Amino acid sequence: MGNNVHELSDAIAYIASDELWIEGSAIQQLHTTANLPGMHRVVGMPDLHPGRGYPIGAAFFSLGRFYPALVGNDIGCGMALWQTDILSRRYNADKFEKRLAALDDAATEAWLDEHLPDSLATHPWRSALGSIGGGNHFAELQQVDQVFDNARFTLAGLDTQHLLLLTHSGSRGLGQSILQRHIASFSHDGLTEGGGDATDYLAAHDDALTFACVNRQLIARRILQQVKASGDAVLDIAHNFVEACNIGGHHGWLHRKGATPDNRGLAIVPGSRGDYSWLVQPVPGESSLCSLAHGAGRKWMRTECKGRLSGKFSPAQLSRTDLGSRVICRDKQLIYEEAPQAYKSVDSVIHCLVQAGLVEPVARLRPVLTLKTRGGKNA
């Protein structure tokens, strides 16, 4: 790996470059995590930023036990990319914005009856399927801006003439309920591998992984139907989960909290809603705990965004970006929290990953239209 890897100790490293600022509190949270019983190694990615007690944008490898609190409440959250049949040159921004603005956050029961796979037809959380959710989740139509590796791009079934659709969402209330149940019984303690409690958690965790994957498919299907288009899934990769893994000759548990696996083929690293997304070919390696950045990473805490931006921008102004794209977000608090200014530059994150020898760029994608929750708060 390149010189962008900072080894703080045998157990702690983070990947950053001179132009990429990482908060001291996020580094401190890496140390906190490294001190958990059984923790063997932790690695912060270039999008590392502080979370609630544990950092986001990091991977954690433990021996003998694993930690549901490190995975967090959005088990299975990830990215899915679709090649659509929407011709870029025929795209009409006003028409598409109007159509997608009319799409309800939640799918109707009748729509779910028609589209849910049988395995999820009676799932307790079925009504959340097909919905994006809040926070940093979104769906986005994108145009191919540049292709750096034609062979890989074409092999993936992609072309430059049509728009792509990216969906970013997770397991919604299901993942939250699984974490709450765990915290109520075990606080932030880990679970010893092989025990009944560990087995129970992993079964619930795997259900949430499947739920989140299907959710991204259903979100894409609802959006494509709404704009009278069709498409094919190109990739779907989760970045919040835990799995049994062999690293450095050790059999243990690899937790990813906002970290994309490097061994699932092509990956997408999205920027903010006013920034590019990058399609990359990961270069697998154990020193980064088989992981890479999952996005641009926050620069500002959510609580400070409105104060920093509301004097300069109205919500209407934030619904247009410097790249010429549009954002549909009726939640006036959220549009400030998710403003491009609140995020790091995705190009600097990608540059850092390239310098560290972790990815090879395949294509850069420009946002065209971003859909977030219509929201109730302050809407």
Ligand-binding site membership of 272 (annotated): no
Ligand-binding site membership of 239 (annotated): yes
Produce one character per residue of 283-302: b if its CB has 16 or more CB atoms within 10 Å, e if not: bebebbbbbbbbbbbbbbee
Q: Which residues contact 72 (CB under 8 A, 6 or more apart)?
A: 51, 54, 175, 179, 240, 257
Ligand-binding site membership of 137 (annotated): yes
Q: Which residues contact 96 (CB under 8 A, 6 or more apart)?
A: 141, 227, 369
Ligand-binding site membership of 324 (annotated): no
Ligand-binding site membership of 115 (annotated): no
Ligand-binding site membership of 296 (annotated): yes
Ligand-binding site membership of 363 (annotated): no
Ligand-binding site membership of 295 (annotated): yes
Catalytic option among 31, 115, 294, 351: 294
DSSP one-letter string for 102-164: TS-SSPPHHHHHHHS-GGGTT-TTGGGTT---STT-EEEEEEEEEES-HHHHHHTT--SSEEE
Ligand-binding site membership of 277 (annotated): yes
To which residue do tokens 């049949």 refer? 85
Q: Is the CA virtual torsion 211, 217, 220, 225 positive or negative?
A: negative
Ligand-binding site membership of 136 (annotated): yes
Ligand-binding site membership of 78 (annotated): no
Ligand-binding site membership of 342 (annotated): no
To which residue do tokens 């998710």 refer? 338
Ligand-binding site membership of 293 (annotated): no
188 a catalytic residue: no
Distance CA(188)–CA(185), nearest Å, equals 9
Q: Are 367 and 276 in contact (CB under 8 A)?
A: yes
Indicate the SS3 state at residue 340.
helix
Query: 378: how many CB neighbours lie within 10 A of its CB?
Result: 13
Ligand-binding site membership of 139 (annotated): yes
- Catalytic residue IDs: 294
- Binding-site annotation, residues for GMP: 136-140, 239-240, 277, 294-297, 372
- Binding-site annotation, residues: 136-140, 168, 239-240, 277, 294-297, 372
- Binding-site annotation, residues for Mn(2+): 137, 168, 239
